[in-house]
Amino acid sequence: MKDNSIKIGLFGLGTIGGGVAELIMGFPGRWKERLGVDLILHKAMDLNPDNASRLGIGQDQLTDRPEDITNNPDVDIVVELVGGTGAAREIVTASLNAGKPVVTANKALLATHGGELFSYARQRGLKIAFEASVGGGIPLIRSLREGLGANQITQCLGILNGTCNYILTRMTNEGAGFHDVLADAQRLGYAEADPSFDVGGTDTAHKLAIMAALATGRLPRLDQIKVEGITSVTPLDISFAKDMGFVIKLLAVLQIHEQQANLSVYPALIENSHQLAAVNGPFNAVFVHGDWVGDIMLYGAGAGRRATASAIVADILDLAREKLSGGSSLPAAALGRADFDPEPLAISSRDDISGKYYFRFAAHDKPGVLAALAAVLGDNQISIATMIQKGREQEGGAVPIVILTHEARESAVLKAIKAIDSLPVVDHPTIMLRVI
Ligand code: HSE
């Protein structure tokens, strides 16, 4: 710290970076009151010069050379908001190398290179703060790391992608088409630069990896997470789910049983009475079970300029306080541990996973078909809880038959679907969704 101020170096002035610049520059009195010194946006870099001029950032605050920020002796804290895992990784490493703590919202970077970056930060005695990387404006990282620090976390169910939740909510409420609502989500600033990261489930998987690291102390490899997105969720399945009292949401699932974790991202049916069913639009929520606290739910805006900037500036304030006090105020990376454990997380096998399932079969409407389907399910110890068959349009044509199961083993479910899809009376591959 020089001249009684904390100086920020900011990489990226897009949707989120622009929000951070606006928040820092817009409330000088608030920061002075909270820190006792000025908080200043000292240098910023963005490839698009229009972004800076729109924000009223002067030429003297701008640079096009990353080292003018990472190696600038006046910069106290570096904020990385460029996204991706290439330039962002270099920025974080160079900043740590120059002795500067870093704030990032980059879930892809942390999920992919977090092990290496956190370990380097620890060696250098520095912090990487990442509250905005999961759940946007929800103080989820702090809650898992600090508020739930006394618990063994056994389950987290998260709605962690605002774009997907916005799309599914509008498909549910208005019967809108997937592509129309995706375009709206992009326009509103919820989506990633490449929206296939959102709708394909990758963004949720990155966030799940970070959440799992906080809950278990071990950062999973991304290939340990089973990922399905929402591109194959149809209005027909949404409508069947509605008829049976469920909504469909893209969920990040972390379940820990006998030291083994099930890490999955998939669209799931959630009963209307579950708290997560009421999480709509771009909102995010995480439903956590801790062995002492029981169930809790954290809810709020998970994407967008203002909410994400709120979390980033909270991290900046923490690091600024730490700098000003000369001490370490920000706790370690994971629950009760000094850092993420380099040992990989043990993952449950399919044989150990069980749950309730939704099937939509496309089967011919003629005598004996239902009995054939039921026989395969019965042979695989899968018990039917509910069944709906919609009326046929023409005799002998395929009709949707929807079944909800009682608790069944996932390995048996996959085996049964394979057998059913090979029956001559079944026209299309079966749709399978999990039920929470
Ligand atoms: N694309 C992300 C989302 C932004 O839709 O949730 C926040 O990480």
Give pLDDT tens digits for 306-322.
Answer: 999 999 999 999 999 99
Instruction: Report how far ligand 1's centroid is from the alpha carbon of 198 (Å).
Output: 7
Which residues are known catalytic residues?
207
Distance (Å, whole) CA 168 – CA 309: 25
For residue 37, the cross-strand partners are none
Atom of ligand 1 lying closest to residue 284 CA:
6
* pLDDT of 339 higher than 90: no
Predicted local confidence at residue 328, as pLDDT:
63
Asked whether 191 lines ligand 1 (CB < 6 A), one says: yes
Tens-place pLDDT, residues 45-60 = 999 989 999 999 999 9
Checking if the pLDDT of 62 tops 90, the result is yes
Give CA–CA dist 122/435, Å, rounded: 41
Kindly tell me if the per-residue pLDDT of 352 is higher than 90.
no
Tens-place pLDDT, residues 37-47: 999 999 999 99
State if residue 80 touches ligand 1 by the CB under 6 angstroms criterion: no
CATH number belonging to domain 350-435: 3.30.70.260
Q: Which of 307, 306, 261 is nearest to 284 (CA)?
A: 307
Question: In the prediction, which pLDDT does 376 show?
Answer: 98
Does position 330 have pLDDT exceeding 80, yes or no?
Answer: no
CB 428 within 8 A of CB 232: no
pLDDT of residue 346: 85
> Relative to the CA of 308, which ligand 1 atom is closest?
7
Degrees, nearest 5: CA angle 264-223-298: 35
* Confidence at residue 365, expressed as pLDDT on a 0 to 100 scale: 86
How far apart CA 314 and CA 220 sit, in angstroms, is 26
More confident residue, 350 or 238: 238
pLDDT in tens, 377-432: 999 999 999 999 876 666 667 899 999 999 999 999 999 999 999 999 999 999 99
What confidence category does residue 336 fall into, taking pLDDT thresholds of 50, 70 and 90?
very low
Could you tell me the pTM of the whole model?
0.94
Q: For the chain, what percent of residues have pLDDT higher than 90?
A: 82
- Asked if 281 contacts 169 with a C-beta cutoff of 8 angstroms, the reply is yes
- Give the CA radius of gyration of the chain: 24
Question: Cβ contacts of residue 342 below 8 Å, gap of 6+?
Answer: 115, 119
User: Is any atom of ligand 1 closer than 6 Å to the C-beta of 131?
Assistant: no
**Hey, where are the domains in the chain?**
5-138+305-333, 140-301, 350-435
- Ligand 1 nearest-atom number relative to CA 160: 6
Residue type, 286: V
Residue 3 has pLDDT above 90, yes or no: no
Residue 163 beta carbon below 6 angstroms from any ligand 1 atom: yes
Q: Considering the domain 5-138+305-333 in this protein, what is its CATH number? A: 3.40.50.720
Whether 136 is in the pocket of ligand 1, judged by its Cβ within 6 Å, is yes
Please identify, in words, the CATH class of the domain defined by 140-301: alpha beta
pLDDT in tens, 109-167: 999 999 999 999 999 999 999 999 999 999 999 999 999 999 999 999 999 999 999 99
- Residue 137 structure tokens: 């404006």
Q: How far is the CA of 247 from the centre of ligand 1 (A)?
A: 21
For residue 189, what pLDDT is reported?
82
pLDDT of residue 192: 82
Span from the CA of 164 to the centroid of ligand 1 (angstroms): 9
Residues 98, 86: contact at Cβ < 8 Å?
no
pLDDT digits (tens, 9 = 90+) for 282-293: 999 999 999 999
Task: Convert the pLDDT of each residue in 179-213 to its tens digit.
Answer: 889 999 888 888 887 899 999 999 999 999 999 99
CA distance 206 to 192: 13
- Contact predicate 46/17, CB 8 Å: yes
pLDDT of residue 332: 47
Confidence grade of residue 337 (pLDDT, cut at 50, 70, 90): low
Q: Indicate whether 239 pLDDT > 80.
A: yes
